[in-house]
Structure 1
Amino acid sequence: MTNLAYDPSEDDDNISRQDIAAMQALRPVPRISVQAFCETEGVANPIERAGQDRRMAKAHLKVHMGGIPTAIDFYHSAPTPNLIVLETRAEPKEMLEQLGRLAEYCDPTSKVVVIGHYNDVGLYRELIRNGISEYVVAPVSMADIVAVIASIFVDPEAAPIGRSMAFIGAKGGVGSSTIAHNVAWAVSSLFQSEVVVADLDLAFGTANINFDQDPAQGIAEAVFSPERIDEVYLDRLLAQCAEHLSLLAAPSTLDRVYDFEPEAFSQIIDTAQRTAPVLVLDVPHIWSGWSKNTLIKADEIIITATPELANLRNTKNLVDMLKRLRPNDPPPKLILNQAGVPKRPEISANDFAEPLGITPMAVIPFEPLLFGNAANNGRMLGEMDAKNPVVATLNEIAHVLTGRSELKSKKKSSLGGLLGKFKRNKK
């Protein structure tokens, strides 16, 4: 009998830290149909929110108001889905009778989850004995719903899925790609872990230059031939950059126009996650259906910005949008790059972080000689100068993103007149 911790006094739009942690460990639910029949808004709302979670992206979920009697009427003339979720306030004896009547109209392959209001071990055992997949005691949270569905339809013996990290710049030229490539190299070299880098900027991608690679094939072949994508085909497209690091290179040519549907990269990403424990996505600074979809589905999002007002505006827009699109995930992580450019007026790290509500995970100083030499030689920063403080910072980022250490929070400082200037510029 499931009765996960839930505080009904919490704002329904928020999710607790415990629920976020639990959700992070869940695997995506496969393509299934789910229909829920609810008697109360307190149960209907978290089920509807569960249907909007990125882990439920492939599932089709529909919520009806009304309990088991409504479900019986509905399935008189409609086929039953893969999963039926039923809320009932009926007493145990009446509940069992109603479920018995519903069973007459249910396909034998359909799973049933009951959300009841009686915390009764005997009832739970009787329901399981009669073929109910799970009994959950109300109130329930959105995380409870996703966890129950995943426990029924996700194979615990299936091969693990790699963790995806999407890097995007708040503006062009802030160094997001360089940081993405160097963090990927750090993860592969520090932890001897297989890493795949996917350069999603097909027209102007720089991963092939940064890794000194010129592969004949790359990500373009995959995105333009989605019907061919599997682990074997993907392996043929990967260029080996280091012992544990592979690259899906962009063609970086303008021979064609790269307009894609929102789901264009989904199959590539899903396949790549089955081949390596870490997938680094180098997302270009654009806002399109496919880039938005890629960010929504990523396990981790890292925004790189330079300490300027336009970067602050763009970062805030990204953070606010992603919080709305990914309400059940932690906010994006922030890296401030190119700090301390001579004679350039800059926003301090604390003032930059204040309106975002995010502590930067790293502030990387302006080091044109180190970065320039590495780029011109097709080498990673750690290969050029392993003892440089910037390399130590990138190594720490690798530790945080792979869960080997935690991001330390710092005290926020006063914002002063920055917010006023920010608001004035919006007018």
Structure 2
Amino acid sequence: MGNMSMEQTLTTAAEPSPTEDRQQIDKVRPIPRISIQAFCETEAVAAPIQKAGSDRRMAKAHLKVQMGGIKAATEHFQSAPTPNLVILESRLAPLDLLTELEVLADFCDPGSKVVIIGHYNDVALYRDLIHRGISEYLVAPISLGDVMTVIGELFVAEGAEPLGRTIAFVGAKGGVGSSTVAHNVAWSISKLFSTDVVLADLDLAFGTANINFDQDPAQGIAEALQSADRIDDVYLDRLLSQCAEHLSLLAAPSMLDRTYDFEGDAFNALIDIAQRGAPAVLLDVPHVWNEWTRTVLSRADQVVITAAPDLANLRNAKNLVDTLVKIRPNDTPPSLILNQLAMPKRPEISASEFTEPLGLEPLGEIGFDPGVFGNAANSGRMIAETDAKHPSVAVFQHVAHVLTGRGEAKKAKKPSLLGRLRLKS
């Protein structure tokens, strides 16, 4: 059994709320490729451990949950190697628990870590277990956050640099302005907080980030994907185009000389490398649905859906929200931005009617203003550069604050109907 040198304090706490549990899980970095086996005695403990296995941060790990507790583990490991981590639940009294662990120890590999989940809040037992090489002792009941946290503490290298957060932007329908929102939010984050931001345009065929930032890089995301097996920080840095002091662009080729068909995990290595070099990595995801876009959205720390207020957008947004909540069960729901509101002569669904079936409040609402947005796009600049007082600038700044966890931006004065917006976190 592995050793644990750092002394820890045994505590029991009230069961956290779903929000508190999510906040705890959000702090966990992706778990490396390890094997985990859990032997439980109660469904109340088995359920959160099983749920952890489906979390996106555990995508590389292999987790198996069985019932039977320490006795089942002892029987199993008599003829099978022990994994990187063994999680054991026991309702035994302290002395009986120690006796069973002595029997199990004969079949455990020295390099395996062991976590015990007991039902006795006993400090003396805790100290005895740590002295015997147990990695951690938790007192039931446990939450999903407890499981994720203890695995992260055991297998994520101490002192490792924190990974940047990935924020994926996707449109509920083509042409709703998701890319424009992503680009302006990326620019706002870099300017407001002087924080390094990497913006990756994942629409290789029709991406517009290079045009919107007036860039014409010779290389970009296509080269990064072609060299996925050897990409590192240095190589990625050569492919990035500097758009502003703290904003770098991984541009799409935007050419049709070939097709861009990818495997489901094609972008994983690239995104992982980008996260190591920037606190914020914004992903401009095209409005298509295939294995790689599903994977990118499922792995992102946050997802932002941009939609216009019509029926097709509502249907698509509803499908997106339902799917993302299902494949990201332990994450906060996607954020919603309503764009192109109050378009002249177009019947539209009100914000309240649009958001009610989604169960979401819009993070921001942006009025339809083709003149201002068209002028910015044609000049290769962001809205804040062409019209700093435009109401949408306040929306982009608010979104930047919320997505980076910096609190809310100062709300703008009451806007005109054309640029009406409502800021909500």
Identify whether the pair has TM-score above 0.5, normalized to the shorter chain.
yes
1:134-187 superposed Cα distances (whole Å, 9 cap, x missing partner): 111111111111111111111231011101110000000000001100100011
Instruction: Check the 8 A contact 2:398/2:409 in 1, yes or no.
Output: no
- Amino acid paired to 1:93: L
Paired with 2:331 and 2:408, the residues of 1 have a C-alpha distance of 16
In the alignment, what sits opposite 2:252? 250
Structure 1 position 3 matched with structure 2 position 5: no
Instruction: Check the 8 A contact 1:4/1:144 in 2, yes or no.
Output: no
Instruction: Check the 8 A contact 2:398/2:408 in 1, yes or no.
Output: no
In the alignment, what sits opposite 2:203? 201
1:234-273 superposed Cα distances (whole Å, 9 cap, x missing partner): 0011011111110000111112211111111011001000
Instruction: Find the residue that maps to 2:36 and give its secondary structure.
Output: strand
In the alignment, what sits opposite 2:305? 303
Instruction: Find the residue that maps to 1:274 and give its secondary structure.
Output: helix
In the alignment, what sits opposite 1:98? 100
Q: What displacement does 1:402 show?
A: 1.1
Q: Which of structure 1's runs of 4+ aligned residues deviate more than 3 A?
A: 2-5
Q: TM-score, normalised by structure 2?
A: 0.92
5 Å matches for 1:40-79?
40-79=42-81
Instruction: Find the residue that maps to 1:232 and give its secondary structure.
Output: helix
Structure 1 position 336 matched with structure 2 position 338: yes
Paired with 2:14 and 2:35, the residues of 1 have a C-alpha distance of 27
Instruction: Find the residue that maps to 1:398 and give its secondary structure.
Output: helix
1:58-97 superposed Cα distances (whole Å, 9 cap, x missing partner): 1110111111111111111111110000011111111111
- Amino acid paired to 1:67: G
Structure 1 position 27 matched with structure 2 position 24: no
Instruction: Find the residue that maps to 1:64 and give its secondary structure.
Output: strand
Paired with 1:347 and 1:405, the residues of 2 have a C-alpha distance of 30
Instruction: Find the residue that maps to 2:295 and give its secondary structure.
Output: helix
- Amino acid paired to 1:131: G
- Amino acid paired to 2:359: G
Paired with 2:356 and 2:230, the residues of 1 have a C-alpha distance of 47
Instruction: Check the 8 A contact 1:222/1:228 in 2, yes or no.
Output: no
Structure 1 position 125 matched with structure 2 position 127: yes
Q: 2:352 aligns with which of 343, 350, 353?
A: 350
Q: What displacement does 1:3 show?
A: 3.4
Instruction: Find the residue that maps to 1:355 and give its secondary structure.
Output: helix
In the alignment, what sits opposite 2:137? 135
Q: 2:215 aligns with which of 213, 216, 219?
A: 213
- Amino acid paired to 1:229: I
- Amino acid paired to 1:344: R
Q: What displacement does 1:42 show?
A: 1.2
Paired with 1:357 and 1:209, the residues of 2 have a C-alpha distance of 35
Paired with 1:397 and 1:138, the residues of 2 have a C-alpha distance of 39
In the alignment, what sits opposite 1:315? 317
Instruction: Check the 8 A contact 1:4/1:140 in 2, yes or no.
Output: no
Instruction: Find the residue that maps to 2:402 and give its secondary structure.
Output: helix
Kindly tell me: are residues 407 and 93 of structure 1, through their superposed partners in 2, closer, same or farther at Cα, counting changes over 3 Å?
farther
Q: What displacement does 1:2 show?
A: 4.9
Instruction: Find the residue that maps to 1:151 and give its secondary structure.
Output: helix
Q: What displacement does 1:390 show?
A: 1.3
Paired with 1:214 and 1:107, the residues of 2 have a C-alpha distance of 56
Q: 2:379 aligns with which of 371, 377, 380?
A: 377
Instruction: Check the 8 A contact 1:3/1:140 in 2, yes or no.
Output: no
Instruction: Check the 8 A contact 1:371/1:381 in 2, yes or no.
Output: yes
- Amino acid paired to 1:5: A
Paired with 2:391 and 2:48, the residues of 1 have a C-alpha distance of 46
Q: 2:406 aligns with which of 404, 407, 424?
A: 404
- Amino acid paired to 2:75: D
Instruction: Check the 8 A contact 1:111/1:133 in 2, yes or no.
Output: yes
Count, aligned residues: 401
Instruction: Find the residue that maps to 1:228 and give its secondary structure.
Output: coil
Instruction: Check the 8 A contact 1:163/1:299 in 2, yes or no.
Output: yes
Paired with 1:4 and 1:288, the residues of 2 have a C-alpha distance of 43
Structure 1: state its 5+ residue gaps: 8-14, 409-427
Structure 2: state its 5+ residue gaps: 1-9, 411-425
Paired with 1:69 and 1:212, the residues of 2 have a C-alpha distance of 66
Instruction: Check the 8 A contact 1:337/1:365 in 2, yes or no.
Output: yes
Instruction: Check the 8 A contact 2:48/2:142 in 1, yes or no.
Output: yes
Deviates more, 1:289-298 or 1:15-24: 15-24
Q: What displacement does 1:407 show?
A: 9.4
Instruction: Find the residue that maps to 1:26 and give its secondary structure.
Output: coil
Paired with 2:407 and 2:368, the residues of 1 have a C-alpha distance of 25
Structure 1 position 271 matched with structure 2 position 273: yes
Q: 2:194 aligns with which of 158, 180, 192?
A: 192
- Amino acid paired to 1:380: M
Give % identity.
64
| Alignment RMSD (CA, Å) | 1.3
- Amino acid paired to 2:166: S
Paired with 2:14 and 2:55, the residues of 1 have a C-alpha distance of 19
- Amino acid paired to 1:246: S
Paired with 1:4 and 1:325, the residues of 2 have a C-alpha distance of 29
